[in-house]
Amino acid sequence: MTADTPPSPSGLIMLQQLVEARSHGSSIGETMGMIAVAVEAGRIEIEARPDARHLNPLGMVHGGFAATCLDGAAALALFSTLEATTPYATVDLNVKYLRPLKAGAVFSVRGWLVERTRSLAICDAEIRDGDGKLYARATATLMVTS
């Protein structure tokens, strides 16, 4: 970087802009019906709305919907602490399902950074309904490559 090169925006600033715009932010966000609604450094809240696109052959919301939402919230919690250009990736995701999600319902998906070293981060995430009932939770390990 030279004196003439503007600094890279932070992940937090980018996420704050998504919250302000009520934007899906990415194609996966649009596919999954997720919108970031609140963010601060190390924490994010996403609104998720499963619909007919997310049903398994039995007509229930597929568990992969919950896993994708949890992985996304965990990863974005980490992203909120990085420069926007810093690469990161999920190493593992451990999901615990407590209740089936219902299509058409609105869920709050929250993610937060638990701990970070130079190259690894541990983040937790959970899915709750409007009454605060827990539906699923996860712990993710993410690799940061800079």
Domains, the chain, ranges and CATH? 11-144 (3.10.129.10)
Residue 50 DSSP one-character state: -
Span 94-131, pLDDT tens digits:
999 999 999 999 999 999 999 999 999 999 999 999 99
pTM attached to this predicted model: 0.90
d(CA 12, CA 16): 6
Taking only Cα atoms into account, the Rg of the chain, rounded to an integer number of angstroms, comes to: 16
Q: Which two tokens stand for residue 53?
A: 């696109």
CB distance 113 to 124 below 8 Å:
no
Span 33-63, pLDDT tens digits:
899 999 999 999 999 999 999 999 988 999 9
d(CA 59, CA 120): 38
Question: Once rounded to an integer, what is the mean pLDDT over residues 23-37?
Answer: 80
The H-or-E segment that residue 84 falls in is none
Q: Is the pLDDT of residue 25 over 80?
A: no
Cα 105 from chain centroid (whole Å): 18
Residues with Cβ within 8 Å of residue 27, at least 6 apart in sequence:
none
Residue 54 DSSP one-character state: G
Residue 15 DSSP one-character state: H
Q: Which two tokens stand for residue 15?
A: 């996420």
- pLDDT (0 to 100) of residue 63: 94
CA-based nearest residue to 141, from 87, 75, 85: 75
